A and B are shown apart, each in its own frame.
Chain A
Amino acid sequence: QVQLVQSGAEVKKSGASVKVSCKAFGYTFTNFYLHWVRQAPGQGLEWMGIVNPSGGTTTYAQRFQGRVTMTRDTSTSTVYMELRSLRSEDTAVYFCARRPTGYDYFDYWGQGTLVTVSS
């Protein structure tokens, strides 16, 4: 069955970088776009960007431009989200989510990865 399995929790210092992975199971990896969405503690969801696993093209939310990079490895069916110059406001659970082809919603989500940024 379809599963998105993310890497484990991370604790980082302010100014550092973090790289979160999302490994896909149960479907053809290159056929479905993957998004990254984050949720700060007690807060709402925030869309961060999208990656096309087939060609590797990406689009990022304006507020993360220059600080985020989303990549993919088709050999392992894994997408990555790297966020640099971390600050305390980046403390959040980071989710990957799949967009079904021909539709505009997120049908499967990863379990979430908690990233804690400490000063």
Chain B
Amino acid sequence: QSALTQPRSVSESPGQSVTISCTGASSDVGGYNFVSWYQQHPGQAPKVIIYDVNKRPSGVPDRFSASKSGNTASLTISGLQAEDEADYFCCSYAGTYTWVFGGGTKLTVL
């Protein structure tokens, strides 16, 4: 159960778009359409922004979108806003009632 691989940090200017990757294996990301993404601001609990690869819970802006290709999932945030600055984590089901998270990506909005 190795952690999923995410870039440690990304940065972009307000109004622009950024994509965060999440690479796993055929036993997790590639094997199931159960990838979720979480946003975490400092000192807070994570908040789900994407589930089942590309679905948004109610209340999450459509600026957040996601996809998956093979063993890599991706989160795209368009029209970046200052409040999007946070840590982002991917998570995948890994079979037999186990889950695995990514190491997290720190998004800086310049």
Whether A104 contacts B57 by the Cβ 8 Å rule is no
Interface size on B, residues (CB 8 A): 24
For window 14-35 of B, CB contacts with A under 8 Å fall at 34
Top 8 A-B pairs, shortest CB-CB distance: A109-B45, A105-B51, A105-B36, A44-B104, A59-B97, A104-B34, A44-B103, A45-B101
Chain A residues engaging chain B, CB cutoff 8 angstroms:
35, 37, 43-47, 50, 59, 61-63, 95, 97, 103-107, 109-112
* B91 A45 Cβ-Cβ under 8 A: yes
Q: A47 to B2, alpha carbons, bound, how many Å? A: 11
Closest residue of chain A to B94, judged by CB? Answer: A47
Q: How many A-B residue pairs have CB under 8 A?
A: 62
Contact A106–B52 (Cβ < 8 Å):
no
- Check B91–A47 contact: CB distance below 8 A: yes
B99 close to A35 (CB less than 8 A): yes
Contact A106 B102 (CB under 8 A): no
Q: In chain B, residues 47-90, which have Cβ atoms closer than 8 Å to a Cβ of chain A? A: 47-48, 51-52, 57, 89
A80 → B minimal CB distance (Å): 19
Contact partner of B101 (CB less than 8 A), chosen from A47, A107, A110, is A47
The answer on a CB contact under 8 Å between B52 and A95 is no
